[in-house]
Amino acid sequence: MVEPKSYSKHNDLQKTDNVFVLDNFFRLVKWSGDDEIILDVGVGDGKFAVEKLVPLFPKKFRKLVGCDVSEKMVMFAKDNYKHPRIEFVHLDISCDEIPVDFVSGFNHVFSFYTLHWVFKQRQAFANMFKMLKPGGDMLLSFLANNPIYEVYNNMSENIKWKAYTKKEYICPYHGSKEPEKELEKILVETGLISHVCRVEKRTYYFPNLDILKKSIIAVNPIIQRLPTEEVPNYVDDFMNQIRKLSSVTIEMVNNNEEGVRIQYQLLVVFASKPLEKS
């Protein structure tokens, strides 16, 4: 995610899935009191954290730290979603060394629609484990499989776009037959107790191709690497590739517009850090 304004306007799919996760899994979070510190990994533009996540917290929570790998996103969040108990910081969750004051610094970790962008999965989970206080917990959701990644793969084979693509842009679990088992193995090896690690089959409907196009542009990491004059050609090629996918249904709707239905898989995790042995 590069341009915060664009993402802020065109992220309805992400918001829909995030609300689904909160509605169905937030009840699992164990609140031990009011004076708790929370981390939101991949806070993005800050809107979802402020408007949807924070209202679910105990009224006297101490602080939410929202981190993001994008400095532009962090600045946007600071400018547009000020809150007396929210701090927005720049941080790569898969960094080699986390800030000292983050070690055992959080009672809860949340992350929505972020970790599929993280290539170094084990490092990210090891870092989140270190950040949790003993007995703390985490609620995470991110993509396991999505037809859009097939387009990324196909575009990477096109000689015109190959130089601009990276394997890091593909979700680490895309194409896996049992992504939840791969992920649970990482959780256990990291030292976490896995309570929920499951795949949710999801479907999202875009009322027309223009909305889908804007949603893709808002999160496509390749576009920022392209020469400006090539962006329209790249987007056209991308949309043409989408039409070829069997997991995407395009149907005629009112006013001769084409609606788009996409099927994909979402990973949901609820895990906790063991209490220290006395």
Mean pLDDT of the chain: 93
Q: What percent of the chain has pLDDT over 70?
A: 99
For the chain, the structural domain boundaries read 4-272
d(CA 90, CA 32): 28
Class of domain 4-272: alpha beta
The pair of structure tokens assigned to 232 is 């329209």
Mean pLDDT, to the nearest integer, of 50-58? 96
**pLDDT grade for 186, boundaries at 50, 70 and 90:** very high
Q: Return the sign of the alpha-carbon dihedral for residues 12, 15, 20, 23.
A: negative
Tens-digit pLDDT profile for residues 90-129: 999 999 999 999 999 999 999 999 999 999 999 999 999 9
- Packing angle, helices 209-219 and 12-25, rounded to 10: 80
- pLDDT greater at residue 108 or residue 224: 108
DSSP characters for 200-226?
EEEEEEESSHHHHHHHHHHH-TTGGGS
Beta strands, E only, the chain: 37-41, 63-68, 86-90, 106-112, 132-145, 193-206, 248-252, 258-272
What is the reported pLDDT for 17?
A: 97
> If you average pLDDT over residues 140-149, what whole number do you get?
94
pLDDT digits (tens, 9 = 90+) for 146-166: 998 999 888 888 888 988 887
- Model pLDDT, residue 242: 92
Q: What is the pLDDT of residue 2?
A: 61
Give the pLDDT mean for 170-174: 91
The yes-or-no verdict on residue 278 having pLDDT over 60 is: no
Mean pLDDT over residues 57-76, rounded?
Answer: 95
247 pLDDT tier (thresholds 50, 70, 90): confident
Is the predicted pLDDT of residue 224 greater than 90, yes or no? no
Backbone φ/ψ region at 44: left (φ over 0), alpha (ψ -120 to 50), beta: left
The pLDDT of residue 30 is above 70: yes
Q: Which of 8, 17, 5, 251 is nearest to 144 (CA)?
A: 17
pTM for this prediction? 0.94
